Structure 1
Amino acid sequence: MTVGALLNKYRKEAEYHDISLLLCELLDCPFLTLSLRKEEELSDRLLENFYTNYARLRNKEPVQYIIGKACFYGLEFSVSPEVLIPRPETEGLIELALQFIPENAKVLDIGTGSGTIAVTLKTLRPDLTLVATDISASALKIAKQNADYNNCAISFYQTDLYPETEDSFDFIISNPPYISPSDYAKLDTRIKEYEPKLALWAEENGLIFYRRILKEAKSKLKPEGLIFFEHGDEQRQNIIHLAETYGWETILIKDDLAGYPRYLGFK
Protein backbone atom coordinates (compact mmCIF):
# COMPACT_ATOMS: atom_id res chain seq x y z
CA MET A 1 0.00 0.00 0.00
CA THR A 2 1.22 3.50 -0.82
CA VAL A 3 1.17 6.54 1.43
CA GLY A 4 -1.49 8.10 -0.76
CA ALA A 5 -3.71 5.02 -0.68
CA LEU A 6 -3.52 4.85 3.11
CA LEU A 7 -4.40 8.53 3.44
CA ASN A 8 -7.33 8.18 1.04
CA LYS A 9 -8.63 5.28 3.11
CA TYR A 10 -9.13 7.58 6.10
CA ARG A 11 -9.76 10.91 4.37
CA LYS A 12 -13.37 11.20 5.57
CA GLU A 13 -12.63 10.37 9.20
CA ALA A 14 -12.84 13.07 11.86
CA GLU A 15 -9.36 12.12 13.07
CA TYR A 16 -7.82 12.54 9.60
CA HIS A 17 -5.36 15.22 10.76
CA ASP A 18 -4.23 13.05 13.67
CA ILE A 19 -3.93 10.05 11.36
CA SER A 20 -1.68 12.10 9.12
CA LEU A 21 0.46 12.98 12.15
CA LEU A 22 0.79 9.28 13.02
CA LEU A 23 2.01 8.57 9.52
CA CYS A 24 4.44 11.50 9.57
CA GLU A 25 5.96 10.14 12.77
CA LEU A 26 6.43 6.68 11.28
CA LEU A 27 7.94 8.12 8.10
CA ASP A 28 10.02 10.63 10.06
CA CYS A 29 8.90 13.48 7.83
CA PRO A 30 7.47 16.97 8.46
CA PHE A 31 3.70 17.29 8.12
CA LEU A 32 3.98 19.71 5.20
CA THR A 33 6.02 17.25 3.14
CA LEU A 34 3.72 14.26 3.57
CA SER A 35 1.86 15.02 0.34
CA LEU A 36 5.15 14.72 -1.57
CA ARG A 37 5.50 11.06 -0.56
CA LYS A 38 2.12 9.74 -1.75
CA GLU A 39 3.66 7.31 -4.23
CA GLU A 40 5.95 5.72 -1.63
CA GLU A 41 5.23 2.09 -0.77
CA LEU A 42 4.78 1.29 2.90
CA SER A 43 6.51 -1.77 4.32
CA ASP A 44 4.59 -4.45 6.22
CA ARG A 45 6.38 -3.49 9.43
CA LEU A 46 5.48 0.16 9.05
CA LEU A 47 1.84 -0.69 8.30
CA GLU A 48 1.69 -2.91 11.36
CA ASN A 49 3.01 -0.05 13.50
CA PHE A 50 0.52 2.34 11.93
CA TYR A 51 -2.48 0.12 12.65
CA THR A 52 -1.31 -0.38 16.23
CA ASN A 53 -1.16 3.37 16.74
CA TYR A 54 -4.42 3.88 14.87
CA ALA A 55 -6.16 1.54 17.32
CA ARG A 56 -4.89 3.70 20.18
CA LEU A 57 -6.22 6.78 18.43
CA ARG A 58 -9.64 5.17 17.97
CA ASN A 59 -9.56 4.42 21.68
CA LYS A 60 -9.49 8.20 22.22
CA GLU A 61 -5.85 8.39 23.25
CA PRO A 62 -4.48 11.83 22.26
CA VAL A 63 -2.22 11.69 19.24
CA GLN A 64 0.43 13.70 21.11
CA TYR A 65 0.84 10.91 23.65
CA ILE A 66 0.95 8.27 20.91
CA ILE A 67 3.78 9.99 19.02
CA GLY A 68 5.35 11.34 22.22
CA LYS A 69 5.58 14.97 21.22
CA ALA A 70 3.64 18.16 20.64
CA CYS A 71 4.22 21.46 18.87
CA PHE A 72 4.00 24.66 20.88
CA TYR A 73 4.91 28.15 19.66
CA GLY A 74 6.76 26.56 16.74
CA LEU A 75 8.93 24.45 19.04
CA GLU A 76 8.88 20.69 19.59
CA PHE A 77 8.24 19.30 23.06
CA SER A 78 8.27 15.76 24.39
CA VAL A 79 5.04 14.85 26.16
CA SER A 80 3.70 11.83 28.01
CA PRO A 81 0.71 11.10 30.27
CA GLU A 82 2.77 12.58 33.14
CA VAL A 83 2.26 16.08 31.68
CA LEU A 84 -0.57 18.01 30.09
CA ILE A 85 -0.66 18.43 26.35
CA PRO A 86 0.20 22.10 25.70
CA ARG A 87 -2.74 24.21 24.55
CA PRO A 88 -2.79 27.16 22.12
CA GLU A 89 -4.30 29.35 24.85
CA THR A 90 -1.02 29.22 26.73
CA GLU A 91 0.77 30.65 23.71
CA GLY A 92 -1.39 33.72 24.29
CA LEU A 93 -0.14 33.97 27.88
CA ILE A 94 3.45 34.01 26.61
CA GLU A 95 2.69 36.68 24.00
CA LEU A 96 1.20 38.95 26.66
CA ALA A 97 3.99 38.31 29.15
CA LEU A 98 6.67 39.21 26.63
CA GLN A 99 5.22 42.71 26.41
CA PHE A 100 5.86 43.25 30.14
CA ILE A 101 8.99 41.29 31.05
CA PRO A 102 11.96 43.68 31.33
CA GLU A 103 15.39 42.99 29.87
CA ASN A 104 17.62 40.60 31.81
CA ALA A 105 14.74 39.75 34.13
CA LYS A 106 14.63 36.77 36.44
CA VAL A 107 11.43 34.84 35.73
CA LEU A 108 9.72 32.11 37.76
CA ASP A 109 7.42 29.64 36.00
CA ILE A 110 5.23 27.92 38.63
CA GLY A 111 3.82 24.52 37.68
CA THR A 112 5.98 24.13 34.61
CA GLY A 113 4.71 20.68 33.54
CA SER A 114 6.48 19.81 30.30
CA GLY A 115 8.36 23.11 30.48
CA THR A 116 6.61 24.79 27.57
CA ILE A 117 6.36 28.25 29.13
CA ALA A 118 9.89 28.35 30.51
CA VAL A 119 11.52 26.88 27.40
CA THR A 120 9.58 29.14 25.04
CA LEU A 121 10.40 32.27 27.03
CA LYS A 122 14.09 31.35 27.18
CA THR A 123 14.15 30.59 23.45
CA LEU A 124 12.49 33.88 22.52
CA ARG A 125 14.37 35.92 25.12
CA PRO A 126 17.85 34.49 25.79
CA ASP A 127 18.53 37.47 28.09
CA LEU A 128 16.10 36.10 30.67
CA THR A 129 17.06 33.94 33.65
CA LEU A 130 14.44 31.18 33.97
CA VAL A 131 13.53 29.23 37.08
CA ALA A 132 10.78 26.61 36.85
CA THR A 133 9.04 24.52 39.51
CA ASP A 134 6.71 21.56 39.65
CA ILE A 135 5.61 19.19 42.38
CA SER A 136 5.84 16.20 40.01
CA ALA A 137 9.24 14.54 39.59
CA SER A 138 7.99 12.85 36.42
CA ALA A 139 6.94 16.16 34.92
CA LEU A 140 10.27 17.77 35.77
CA LYS A 141 12.14 14.95 34.07
CA ILE A 142 10.28 15.70 30.86
CA ALA A 143 10.72 19.46 31.30
CA LYS A 144 14.48 19.01 31.65
CA GLN A 145 14.54 16.89 28.49
CA ASN A 146 12.68 19.62 26.63
CA ALA A 147 15.04 22.30 27.92
CA ASP A 148 18.05 20.26 26.79
CA TYR A 149 16.49 19.50 23.39
CA ASN A 150 15.84 23.21 22.80
CA ASN A 151 19.26 24.25 24.18
CA CYS A 152 17.82 26.24 27.08
CA ALA A 153 19.57 26.78 30.40
CA ILE A 154 16.79 26.67 33.01
CA SER A 155 16.96 25.98 36.76
CA PHE A 156 14.34 23.38 37.75
CA TYR A 157 13.11 22.66 41.27
CA GLN A 158 10.80 19.94 42.51
CA THR A 159 8.68 21.80 45.03
CA ASP A 160 5.16 22.88 45.88
CA LEU A 161 4.89 26.23 44.06
CA TYR A 162 7.95 28.26 45.15
CA PRO A 163 11.59 27.14 45.19
CA GLU A 164 13.27 27.11 48.58
CA THR A 165 15.84 29.72 47.65
CA GLU A 166 16.50 33.30 48.65
CA ASP A 167 16.04 34.51 45.07
CA SER A 168 13.85 37.47 44.23
CA PHE A 169 12.08 37.50 40.87
CA ASP A 170 11.12 40.23 38.44
CA PHE A 171 8.25 38.25 36.98
CA ILE A 172 6.14 35.25 37.95
CA ILE A 173 4.13 33.40 35.33
CA SER A 174 1.82 30.45 35.94
CA ASN A 175 -0.81 28.32 34.30
CA PRO A 176 -1.72 26.35 37.45
CA PRO A 177 -4.30 23.58 37.84
CA TYR A 178 -7.68 25.33 37.86
CA ILE A 179 -10.37 22.73 37.15
CA SER A 180 -12.79 22.50 40.10
CA PRO A 181 -13.94 19.05 41.24
CA SER A 182 -17.43 19.68 39.80
CA ASP A 183 -16.03 20.80 36.44
CA TYR A 184 -13.54 17.93 36.36
CA ALA A 185 -16.45 15.49 36.40
CA LYS A 186 -17.76 17.13 33.21
CA LEU A 187 -14.50 17.00 31.26
CA ASP A 188 -14.19 15.06 28.03
CA THR A 189 -13.43 11.41 28.69
CA ARG A 190 -10.27 11.73 26.62
CA ILE A 191 -8.89 14.26 29.09
CA LYS A 192 -9.94 12.42 32.23
CA GLU A 193 -8.61 9.06 31.05
CA TYR A 194 -5.27 10.19 29.67
CA GLU A 195 -4.13 13.56 31.02
CA PRO A 196 -2.74 13.87 34.56
CA LYS A 197 -5.34 14.79 37.17
CA LEU A 198 -2.61 16.38 39.29
CA ALA A 199 -2.13 19.06 36.61
CA LEU A 200 -5.86 19.78 36.26
CA TRP A 201 -7.70 19.35 39.56
CA ALA A 202 -7.86 22.24 42.03
CA GLU A 203 -9.87 22.56 45.23
CA GLU A 204 -11.68 25.70 46.41
CA ASN A 205 -13.71 25.85 43.17
CA GLY A 206 -10.49 25.74 41.18
CA LEU A 207 -8.94 28.71 42.97
CA ILE A 208 -6.63 27.16 45.57
CA PHE A 209 -3.40 27.62 43.62
CA TYR A 210 -4.19 31.23 42.66
CA ARG A 211 -4.81 32.01 46.32
CA ARG A 212 -1.62 30.33 47.47
CA ILE A 213 0.53 31.89 44.75
CA LEU A 214 -0.86 35.38 45.34
CA LYS A 215 -0.55 35.08 49.12
CA GLU A 216 3.18 34.29 48.97
CA ALA A 217 4.22 36.22 45.88
CA LYS A 218 4.90 39.55 47.61
CA SER A 219 7.83 37.98 49.45
CA LYS A 220 9.18 36.40 46.26
CA LEU A 221 8.96 39.35 43.86
CA LYS A 222 11.09 42.44 43.63
CA PRO A 223 9.27 45.72 44.44
CA GLU A 224 8.33 46.35 40.79
CA GLY A 225 7.67 42.69 40.06
CA LEU A 226 4.66 41.40 38.14
CA ILE A 227 2.64 38.20 38.14
CA PHE A 228 0.69 36.81 35.16
CA PHE A 229 -1.84 33.97 35.11
CA GLU A 230 -3.79 31.87 32.69
CA HIS A 231 -7.18 30.97 34.20
CA GLY A 232 -10.51 29.27 33.61
CA ASP A 233 -13.17 31.16 31.69
CA GLU A 234 -15.45 31.59 34.72
CA GLN A 235 -12.78 32.50 37.28
CA ARG A 236 -11.73 36.03 36.36
CA GLN A 237 -13.65 38.03 38.96
CA ASN A 238 -12.91 35.56 41.74
CA ILE A 239 -9.17 35.76 41.04
CA ILE A 240 -9.25 39.56 40.89
CA HIS A 241 -11.01 39.56 44.26
CA LEU A 242 -8.36 37.24 45.69
CA ALA A 243 -5.61 39.47 44.32
CA GLU A 244 -7.14 42.58 45.85
CA THR A 245 -7.42 40.78 49.18
CA TYR A 246 -3.64 40.29 49.18
CA GLY A 247 -2.87 43.83 48.02
CA TRP A 248 -2.39 43.32 44.30
CA GLU A 249 -3.41 45.77 41.60
CA THR A 250 -4.83 44.40 38.35
CA ILE A 251 -2.86 45.65 35.33
CA LEU A 252 -3.98 43.22 32.62
CA ILE A 253 -7.33 41.65 31.73
CA LYS A 254 -7.43 39.82 28.41
CA ASP A 255 -9.51 37.21 26.59
CA ASP A 256 -8.11 34.41 24.45
CA LEU A 257 -8.50 34.27 20.66
CA ALA A 258 -11.83 32.47 21.03
CA GLY A 259 -13.17 35.34 23.13
CA TYR A 260 -13.09 33.57 26.50
CA PRO A 261 -11.74 35.22 29.67
CA ARG A 262 -8.24 33.75 30.01
CA TYR A 263 -5.43 36.04 31.23
CA LEU A 264 -4.74 38.30 34.21
CA GLY A 265 -1.76 40.37 35.27
CA PHE A 266 -1.04 41.97 38.65
CA LYS A 267 1.52 44.25 40.27
Structure 2
Amino acid sequence: MGEKPEMNMIPDLCLEQDARMWMAWAENLLCSSGVPNPRVDAEAIMASALGMGRLDLYLDPRTLKESERGNFFDLVKRRCSREPLQYILGEVSFYGRSFHVTPDVLIPRPETELLVEACLGRIKSPRRILDVGTGSGCIAVTLACERPEAIVLAVDSEENALSVALSNARRHEVLDRVQILCGDLATAIGSGCRADLIVANLPYIPLPAFDRLQTEVRDFEPESALCGGEDGLLLIRRLIADLPRLLQPAGLIALEIGEDHGEAVQSLFEETRSFGKVEVIQDLSGRNRMAFAVRTR
Protein backbone atom coordinates (compact mmCIF):
# COMPACT_ATOMS: atom_id res chain seq x y z
CA MET A 1 0.00 0.00 0.00
CA GLY A 2 3.00 2.29 0.55
CA GLU A 3 3.49 5.03 3.10
CA LYS A 4 0.45 6.71 4.53
CA PRO A 5 0.06 10.15 2.92
CA GLU A 6 0.70 13.24 5.01
CA MET A 7 -2.59 15.08 5.28
CA ASN A 8 -1.18 18.14 7.02
CA MET A 9 0.65 19.23 3.86
CA ILE A 10 -0.92 21.82 1.59
CA PRO A 11 -1.52 20.24 -1.83
CA ASP A 12 1.09 21.22 -4.40
CA LEU A 13 -1.50 22.92 -6.58
CA CYS A 14 -2.24 26.49 -7.47
CA LEU A 15 -5.11 27.67 -5.28
CA GLU A 16 -6.85 28.92 -8.42
CA GLN A 17 -7.19 25.40 -9.85
CA ASP A 18 -10.76 24.34 -10.48
CA ALA A 19 -12.67 21.49 -8.84
CA ARG A 20 -11.48 18.94 -11.37
CA MET A 21 -7.83 19.41 -10.40
CA TRP A 22 -8.62 19.18 -6.69
CA MET A 23 -10.54 15.97 -7.32
CA ALA A 24 -7.56 14.52 -9.16
CA TRP A 25 -5.36 15.39 -6.17
CA ALA A 26 -7.86 13.76 -3.80
CA GLU A 27 -8.14 10.67 -5.97
CA ASN A 28 -4.37 10.10 -5.79
CA LEU A 29 -4.35 10.64 -2.03
CA LEU A 30 -7.28 8.27 -1.46
CA CYS A 31 -5.67 5.66 -3.68
CA SER A 32 -2.45 5.91 -1.66
CA SER A 33 -4.49 5.32 1.49
CA GLY A 34 -5.94 2.08 0.12
CA VAL A 35 -9.45 3.45 -0.36
CA PRO A 36 -11.51 1.42 -2.85
CA ASN A 37 -13.01 3.42 -5.74
CA PRO A 38 -11.00 6.59 -5.01
CA ARG A 39 -12.27 8.52 -8.03
CA VAL A 40 -15.91 7.94 -7.14
CA ASP A 41 -15.27 8.96 -3.53
CA ALA A 42 -13.33 12.09 -4.57
CA GLU A 43 -16.25 13.17 -6.74
CA ALA A 44 -18.80 12.49 -3.99
CA ILE A 45 -16.77 14.44 -1.43
CA MET A 46 -16.32 17.42 -3.76
CA ALA A 47 -20.03 17.42 -4.62
CA SER A 48 -20.83 17.49 -0.90
CA ALA A 49 -18.30 20.22 -0.16
CA LEU A 50 -19.71 22.45 -2.90
CA GLY A 51 -23.37 21.48 -2.56
CA MET A 52 -23.47 20.48 -6.24
CA GLY A 53 -24.47 17.44 -8.25
CA ARG A 54 -21.60 15.23 -9.36
CA LEU A 55 -22.30 15.83 -13.05
CA ASP A 56 -22.24 19.61 -12.48
CA LEU A 57 -18.66 19.32 -11.24
CA TYR A 58 -17.65 18.64 -14.84
CA LEU A 59 -20.30 20.63 -16.68
CA ASP A 60 -19.68 23.81 -14.70
CA PRO A 61 -16.25 23.55 -13.03
CA ARG A 62 -15.14 26.51 -10.94
CA THR A 63 -12.43 27.48 -8.51
CA LEU A 64 -12.99 26.79 -4.83
CA LYS A 65 -13.39 29.44 -2.17
CA GLU A 66 -11.03 29.19 0.79
CA SER A 67 -13.81 27.86 3.05
CA GLU A 68 -14.75 25.26 0.44
CA ARG A 69 -11.15 24.09 0.11
CA GLY A 70 -10.90 23.74 3.87
CA ASN A 71 -14.11 21.72 4.03
CA PHE A 72 -12.97 19.54 1.12
CA PHE A 73 -9.57 18.86 2.72
CA ASP A 74 -11.23 17.88 6.02
CA LEU A 75 -13.58 15.44 4.31
CA VAL A 76 -10.76 13.89 2.27
CA LYS A 77 -8.70 13.48 5.43
CA ARG A 78 -11.54 11.58 7.08
CA ARG A 79 -11.89 9.27 4.09
CA CYS A 80 -8.13 8.66 4.06
CA SER A 81 -8.52 7.35 7.62
CA ARG A 82 -10.95 4.84 6.03
CA GLU A 83 -14.03 6.32 7.67
CA PRO A 84 -16.95 5.19 5.48
CA LEU A 85 -18.02 7.69 2.86
CA GLN A 86 -21.65 7.33 3.98
CA TYR A 87 -20.80 8.58 7.48
CA ILE A 88 -18.76 11.45 6.07
CA LEU A 89 -21.63 12.57 3.84
CA GLY A 90 -24.30 11.63 6.38
CA GLU A 91 -26.43 10.17 3.60
CA VAL A 92 -26.98 6.88 1.80
CA SER A 93 -29.32 5.87 -1.01
CA PHE A 94 -31.62 2.96 -0.24
CA TYR A 95 -34.38 1.65 -2.50
CA GLY A 96 -34.47 4.93 -4.43
CA ARG A 97 -34.63 7.18 -1.36
CA SER A 98 -32.04 9.13 0.60
CA PHE A 99 -31.53 8.18 4.24
CA HIS A 100 -29.63 9.93 6.99
CA VAL A 101 -26.95 7.79 8.65
CA THR A 102 -24.55 8.30 11.55
CA PRO A 103 -21.95 6.06 13.23
CA ASP A 104 -24.75 4.97 15.58
CA VAL A 105 -26.32 2.83 12.85
CA LEU A 106 -25.27 0.20 10.36
CA ILE A 107 -24.86 1.51 6.83
CA PRO A 108 -27.70 0.10 4.66
CA ARG A 109 -26.46 -2.35 2.03
CA PRO A 110 -27.72 -3.43 -1.39
CA GLU A 111 -28.36 -6.91 0.08
CA THR A 112 -30.96 -5.37 2.37
CA GLU A 113 -32.61 -3.71 -0.62
CA LEU A 114 -33.03 -7.22 -2.01
CA LEU A 115 -34.65 -8.27 1.27
CA VAL A 116 -37.14 -5.41 1.04
CA GLU A 117 -37.86 -6.14 -2.63
CA ALA A 118 -38.48 -9.81 -1.85
CA CYS A 119 -40.88 -8.89 0.96
CA LEU A 120 -42.85 -6.58 -1.29
CA GLY A 121 -43.13 -9.33 -3.88
CA ARG A 122 -44.38 -11.89 -1.36
CA ILE A 123 -46.97 -9.95 0.62
CA LYS A 124 -49.14 -7.36 -1.08
CA SER A 125 -51.37 -5.82 1.59
CA PRO A 126 -49.94 -6.21 5.10
CA ARG A 127 -51.85 -4.36 7.80
CA ARG A 128 -49.10 -4.49 10.42
CA ILE A 129 -45.35 -4.83 9.83
CA LEU A 130 -42.68 -5.34 12.47
CA ASP A 131 -39.07 -4.35 11.79
CA VAL A 132 -36.83 -5.83 14.49
CA GLY A 133 -33.44 -4.16 14.88
CA THR A 134 -34.46 -1.17 12.76
CA GLY A 135 -31.20 0.80 13.01
CA SER A 136 -31.47 3.69 10.55
CA GLY A 137 -35.08 2.76 9.88
CA CYS A 138 -34.38 2.15 6.19
CA ILE A 139 -36.45 -1.05 6.10
CA ALA A 140 -39.35 0.28 8.17
CA VAL A 141 -39.57 3.59 6.32
CA THR A 142 -39.25 1.99 2.88
CA LEU A 143 -42.00 -0.53 3.62
CA ALA A 144 -44.22 2.25 4.97
CA CYS A 145 -43.67 4.24 1.77
CA GLU A 146 -44.28 1.25 -0.48
CA ARG A 147 -47.28 -0.08 1.47
CA PRO A 148 -49.23 3.03 2.53
CA GLU A 149 -52.03 0.93 4.05
CA ALA A 150 -49.69 -0.62 6.64
CA ILE A 151 -48.74 0.36 10.17
CA VAL A 152 -45.05 -0.32 10.83
CA LEU A 153 -43.52 -0.97 14.25
CA ALA A 154 -39.77 -0.24 14.26
CA VAL A 155 -37.87 -1.64 17.24
CA ASP A 156 -34.26 -1.23 18.34
CA SER A 157 -32.40 -1.53 21.63
CA GLU A 158 -30.22 1.55 20.98
CA GLU A 159 -31.80 4.95 21.61
CA ASN A 160 -29.26 6.76 19.42
CA ALA A 161 -30.18 4.50 16.52
CA LEU A 162 -33.87 5.17 17.11
CA SER A 163 -33.19 8.91 16.85
CA VAL A 164 -31.81 8.30 13.36
CA ALA A 165 -34.80 6.13 12.45
CA LEU A 166 -37.15 8.84 13.72
CA SER A 167 -35.43 11.47 11.58
CA ASN A 168 -35.77 9.26 8.49
CA ALA A 169 -39.44 8.58 9.16
CA ARG A 170 -39.97 12.33 9.45
CA ARG A 171 -37.98 13.01 6.29
CA HIS A 172 -40.15 10.64 4.25
CA GLU A 173 -43.39 11.78 5.89
CA VAL A 174 -44.45 8.44 7.38
CA LEU A 175 -44.31 9.34 11.07
CA ASP A 176 -48.05 8.84 11.29
CA ARG A 177 -47.63 5.16 10.37
CA VAL A 178 -44.18 4.26 11.71
CA GLN A 179 -44.08 3.71 15.46
CA ILE A 180 -40.57 3.87 16.96
CA LEU A 181 -40.09 1.57 19.97
CA CYS A 182 -37.09 0.93 22.23
CA GLY A 183 -36.61 -2.62 23.42
CA ASP A 184 -34.54 -5.78 23.38
CA LEU A 185 -35.55 -7.53 20.15
CA ALA A 186 -39.36 -7.76 20.25
CA THR A 187 -39.84 -7.61 24.02
CA ALA A 188 -41.51 -4.20 23.60
CA ILE A 189 -44.25 -5.78 21.46
CA GLY A 190 -47.29 -7.09 23.28
CA SER A 191 -48.69 -10.54 22.49
CA GLY A 192 -51.92 -9.00 21.21
CA CYS A 193 -50.07 -7.02 18.53
CA ARG A 194 -49.28 -9.71 15.95
CA ALA A 195 -47.86 -8.71 12.60
CA ASP A 196 -48.61 -9.89 9.07
CA LEU A 197 -44.96 -9.35 8.13
CA ILE A 198 -41.85 -9.40 10.31
CA VAL A 199 -38.54 -8.26 8.83
CA ALA A 200 -35.22 -8.43 10.64
CA ASN A 201 -31.68 -7.60 9.62
CA LEU A 202 -30.07 -8.60 12.90
CA PRO A 203 -26.33 -8.90 13.61
CA TYR A 204 -25.09 -12.13 12.03
CA ILE A 205 -21.30 -11.86 11.78
CA PRO A 206 -19.70 -14.64 13.91
CA LEU A 207 -17.39 -13.18 16.52
CA PRO A 208 -14.29 -15.02 15.20
CA ALA A 209 -14.81 -13.37 11.79
CA PHE A 210 -15.03 -9.82 13.09
CA ASP A 211 -11.31 -9.00 12.83
CA ARG A 212 -11.31 -10.07 9.17
CA LEU A 213 -13.92 -7.50 8.14
CA GLN A 214 -13.01 -4.59 5.87
CA THR A 215 -11.41 -1.69 7.75
CA GLU A 216 -14.35 0.62 7.08
CA VAL A 217 -16.72 -1.91 8.65
CA ARG A 218 -14.59 -3.23 11.52
CA ASP A 219 -13.27 0.10 12.80
CA PHE A 220 -16.23 2.41 12.23
CA GLU A 221 -19.60 0.66 12.14
CA PRO A 222 -21.22 -0.28 15.47
CA GLU A 223 -20.03 -3.70 16.57
CA SER A 224 -23.36 -4.32 18.29
CA ALA A 225 -25.06 -4.09 14.88
CA LEU A 226 -22.61 -6.51 13.27
CA CYS A 227 -21.67 -9.33 15.65
CA GLY A 228 -24.18 -12.05 16.37
CA GLY A 229 -22.23 -13.93 19.02
CA GLU A 230 -19.89 -16.86 18.60
CA ASP A 231 -21.85 -18.45 15.73
CA GLY A 232 -23.57 -15.32 14.44
CA LEU A 233 -27.02 -16.59 15.42
CA LEU A 234 -27.40 -15.29 18.97
CA LEU A 235 -30.19 -12.78 18.26
CA ILE A 236 -31.66 -14.62 15.27
CA ARG A 237 -32.11 -17.70 17.47
CA ARG A 238 -33.96 -15.69 20.11
CA LEU A 239 -36.22 -13.97 17.58
CA ILE A 240 -37.22 -17.19 15.81
CA ALA A 241 -38.16 -18.76 19.15
CA ASP A 242 -40.45 -15.78 19.83
CA LEU A 243 -42.14 -15.74 16.42
CA PRO A 244 -45.25 -17.76 17.37
CA ARG A 245 -46.11 -14.95 19.77
CA LEU A 246 -45.44 -12.18 17.26
CA LEU A 247 -46.63 -13.41 13.86
CA GLN A 248 -50.16 -13.90 12.59
CA PRO A 249 -51.11 -17.30 11.14
CA ALA A 250 -50.14 -17.21 7.43
CA GLY A 251 -47.84 -14.30 8.28
CA LEU A 252 -44.40 -13.97 6.67
CA ILE A 253 -41.03 -13.73 8.43
CA ALA A 254 -38.08 -12.38 6.42
CA LEU A 255 -34.54 -12.54 7.77
CA GLU A 256 -31.20 -11.39 6.45
CA ILE A 257 -28.66 -14.08 7.36
CA GLY A 258 -25.00 -14.98 7.02
CA GLU A 259 -23.92 -17.01 4.01
CA ASP A 260 -23.20 -20.08 6.17
CA HIS A 261 -26.43 -19.91 8.19
CA GLY A 262 -28.94 -21.49 5.82
CA GLU A 263 -29.17 -24.97 7.36
CA ALA A 264 -28.94 -23.70 10.93
CA VAL A 265 -31.77 -21.23 10.37
CA GLN A 266 -33.93 -23.93 8.82
CA SER A 267 -33.40 -26.07 11.94
CA LEU A 268 -34.35 -23.18 14.20
CA PHE A 269 -37.64 -22.73 12.34
CA GLU A 270 -38.34 -26.47 12.55
CA GLU A 271 -37.91 -26.37 16.32
CA THR A 272 -40.84 -23.95 16.66
CA ARG A 273 -43.17 -26.40 14.86
CA SER A 274 -45.04 -23.36 13.56
CA PHE A 275 -43.63 -22.95 10.06
CA GLY A 276 -43.67 -24.77 6.78
CA LYS A 277 -40.84 -24.87 4.28
CA VAL A 278 -38.07 -22.33 4.82
CA GLU A 279 -36.96 -20.60 1.62
CA VAL A 280 -33.28 -19.54 1.57
CA ILE A 281 -32.48 -16.99 -1.14
CA GLN A 282 -29.08 -15.97 -2.46
CA ASP A 283 -27.83 -12.44 -3.04
CA LEU A 284 -26.38 -11.10 -6.28
CA SER A 285 -23.03 -12.70 -5.44
CA GLY A 286 -24.59 -16.15 -5.16
CA ARG A 287 -24.30 -16.31 -1.35
CA ASN A 288 -27.12 -17.36 0.96
CA ARG A 289 -28.42 -14.07 2.32
CA MET A 290 -32.16 -14.23 3.07
CA ALA A 291 -34.54 -16.67 4.72
CA PHE A 292 -38.34 -16.59 4.37
CA ALA A 293 -40.95 -18.67 6.13
CA VAL A 294 -44.73 -18.57 6.46
CA ARG A 295 -46.42 -19.43 9.72
CA THR A 296 -48.62 -22.46 9.19
CA ARG A 297 -49.97 -22.88 12.73
Same fold (TM over 0.5): yes
Q: Deviations over 1:61-103 (max 9, x none)?
A: 1111111111111111111110011111000001100012231
Q: 2:253 aligns with which of 227, 231, 243?
A: 227
Change (3 A) 1:30 1:105: farther
Which secondary structure does the structure 2 equivalent of 1:192 belong to? helix
- Rg (Cα) greater in structure: 2
Q: Tell me whether 1:131 sits opposite 2:153 in the alignment.
A: yes
Tell me the equivalent position of 2:51: 28
Distance 1:123 1:30 in 2: 25
Tell me the equivalent position of 2:34: none
Tell me the equivalent position of 1:3: 19
Alpha-carbon contact 1:115-1:147 (below 8 Å) kept: yes
Tell me the equivalent position of 1:262: 289
1:213-224 residue pairs with structure 2 within 5 A? 213-224=239-250
| Higher alpha-carbon deviation: 195-204 or 169-178 | 195-204
Deviation (angstroms), 1:241: 1.0
Tell me the amino acid that sits aligned with residue 111 of structure 1: G
Which secondary structure does the structure 2 equivalent of 1:203 belong to? coil
Deviation (angstroms), 1:41: 1.5
Q: Deviations over 1:86-137 (max 9, x none)?
A: 1110000011000122314210000000001011111122122111100000
Change (3 A) 1:5 1:152: same
Deviation (angstroms), 1:164: 3.2
Deviation (angstroms), 1:251: 4.4
1:104-115 residue pairs with structure 2 within 5 A? 104-115=126-137
Alpha-carbon contact 2:279-2:292 (below 8 Å) kept: yes
Change (3 A) 1:114 1:211: same
Tell me the equivalent position of 1:156: 180
Alpha-carbon contact 1:106-1:170 (below 8 Å) kept: yes
Unaligned runs of 5+ residues in structure 1 are none
Distance 1:192 1:8 in 2: 28
1:85-124 residue pairs with structure 2 within 5 A? 85-124=107-146
Deviation (angstroms), 1:168: 1.2
Q: How well do the aligned residues superpose, as a CA RMSD in angstroms?
A: 1.4
Tell me the amino acid that sits aligned with residue 218 of structure 1: P
Deviation (angstroms), 1:10: 4.0
Q: Tell me whether 1:201 sits opposite 2:223 in the alignment.
A: no
Question: Runs of 4+ in structure 1 displaced over 4 angstroms?
Answer: none
Tell me the amino acid that sits aligned with residue 120 of structure 1: T
Tell me the amino acid that sits aligned with residue 163 of structure 2: K
Q: 2:85 aligns with which of 60, 63, 71?
A: 63
How many correspondences in the alignment? 266
Q: Deviations over 1:18-56 (max 9, x none)?
A: 111111111212334332222x11101100111111111
| Higher alpha-carbon deviation: 136-145 or 204-213 | 204-213
Alpha-carbon contact 1:252-1:264 (below 8 Å) kept: yes
Alpha-carbon contact 2:266-2:278 (below 8 Å) kept: no
Deviation (angstroms), 1:204: 4.4
Deviation (angstroms), 1:8: 3.1
Tell me the equivalent position of 1:177: 203
Alpha-carbon contact 2:90-2:100 (below 8 Å) kept: yes
Q: Tell me whether 1:47 sits opposite 2:47 in the alignment.
A: no
Q: Taking CA–CA contacts closer than 8 Å with sequence separation of 6 or more, which of the two structures ends up with the larger relative contact order?
A: 1
After TM superposition, the score normalised by the length of structure 1 is 0.95
Distance 1:131 1:34 in 2: 41
Which secondary structure does the structure 2 equivalent of 1:29 belong to? coil
Distance 1:32 1:121 in 2: 31
Unaligned runs of 5+ residues in structure 2 are 1-16, 32-36
Alpha-carbon contact 2:208-2:230 (below 8 Å) kept: no
Distance 1:2 1:186 in 2: 40
Alpha-carbon contact 2:269-2:278 (below 8 Å) kept: no
